[in-house]
Chain A
């Protein structure tokens, strides 16, 4: 049965695509005429012009892009031995998008010169940075993925700031960011096909050593494969393929992840059929989506671009596939987490007192020192104490949110044994954002309370989804992560759809999304403080589990633990922490990822010490970020979440390089 499934699926997709193509061609004046237009433009007939300069090029561009992204996905997943690696995971798309933004704002002549060159350069530089950060570890899969993730977050943070400051100028780029396949000539096709063909041929040359990677790393090494060279070539090919596609049509989500995943699911093990089937699947999936979108009525088509639609359609598909996906337990022996065990530090009481003191002094300084209407002012001198009414709630909220996100992140990272896990990554934050978008756009509520409730409902639904999809596997870390990736993809898709539609309301949403303490009032502080105290103490109460669980299921069980139940409880706690923090400072403050990481880099690896250190780091980071954000571009405010990810990202990159 497994043998016939791939062919059935591909046949089904092909028939659907063929039907849609036939229906369209028939409706515009018959097949003969349509095929004639493919080869020659009849300038006398506007139908023929439309077909030959827009419709046919669009079809071929779509097929090419789908195939290219699928090959890039297969290469990445194979070489990184990671089922969730994809062109977007590694930051290539966001690097390209960031470079386009920079060029639009600061060097428009570059955009006039060649837009695709700018995007390509951005993608290549991003990948270069990923290589640079992971070079010392011989491009080890885990480090490459983490480096990609960090750069991804970094560029998204910067892009969001630029977008907030320049929404009018950048509105065109939003369409590109949602991946529109509209064509007005054969330029993209002639640009893409020779390049993609060459890249695929080179990839085929490396198939044999690549398939050896299926074995363990040492196995591949003993067979005489130069791992570094192999990884370099294959990652490079994947970047080129992705950048070409991104440069010519924009960001197309999910094909690079979904096509190889479906292929794997169909039980295809050998690499050559895997590449070919993925290519066909990728091409068909993208084309099918695009053909369907072209048939949408005008009002809907206006806001739905293909790239974002594939992501939106692909995410539920991915969620449905998840329980069926056989994930080999990855050996976590190599992860960053365990590498620091050589230098365990213990927290002494005096260190905690000192850090706490620093936090207090910092708080007072941040509350009193700031740029005002007439330049830098210190409240002690000018006596304008009424301004504290605005500053203190924001600083307190930032501090509390930082602590909660840090604790949530620590729990999730220890639980999954995965240093790239965090509330943002497992999708809770995205769930909140989706809930918020729906509340805002359906007109259910525009007030603050309504938005909060919407966000809460979103978070709970995502948590339900995580539990539903993962309880059978006992909350296996990789599966939980995959769920998060799918939900995040869905959120990104919804977000780019909204931004591409050009609705001016979307910028109010963007402002919230970027994680600002702007909307905090003194009334919201008390519930927040209670929530922090309660949830964080539960976290410390459960810290014993956090020591045992990373040792592995067998060890945990032999110590008399119910592994599934404790995982579920900890996950629930992390979710509650995230909801409480996110409702105040927005979903994109990457503190939950960075604070535990930084605490690790300092060498605190026992659960209790780890929790304390990371919450101190998280609190301080958010405090500093909130203050800096209000000074940097005064009177414009850069949201605290953005500043935190820009600051922390730098440090994280430095830490990665040192690994």
Chain B
């Protein structure tokens, strides 16, 4: 590191750290949806990445439509796109639960295979509809550029926006899951399905909405994803393994664990990436996670469950 001065090194560290925060935001948004689906319901959704891609493509589609028909609204379409991504992915998740998932609750390993099949079909659909090339929406002007606190540090505005969005969504999920009656129903259903049904909770309805909510949040992750990278048919599958690691490492049923683990993984990866090649950074991060999980299978933060 001889060729860098101390000031440059701090700047690099700050920027690399912020790059880590962008990765953290997308990982966390993906993982929040998965933590609900996998952590709460115990369903392994291998198509989760494709739900994210669905959100990203929705955003892209809206940007094209706005640009062609309502160019004067270009500054605002992105906010609409976030909501639309949530609704589209959520609706599709609702249908998926009804057609596929609800038949497989008793066989988690088979859910894994079925959703993998679903992800193949979705990937190919994206390829048929949008083409094999990566696309990116035209971002509104206010998302471009960067903020310079000092001469040598550049913090991209889109990264800060994604971070803000992540905080809002995380808070929303927290309130919904832990401070609302509906969240209480969801948690009750997970803990004891039969008793929940006995006290009058419509458990099937709860399942369907929970799954839809998880997929919808993946859709929001997709909208956020478009601001930092371009979307291709296989974009979602690139993140699925990392996302599962975030959820498992954080402890499946813990919201705080998910946040902490997304932060650790993203920071470890992007700071390591500066010192060694990207592929080795990934190898070391994942290897460390596997070793930690072998020693502590229940993850960082976990609710004690008697088995």
Chains A and B are bound partners: no
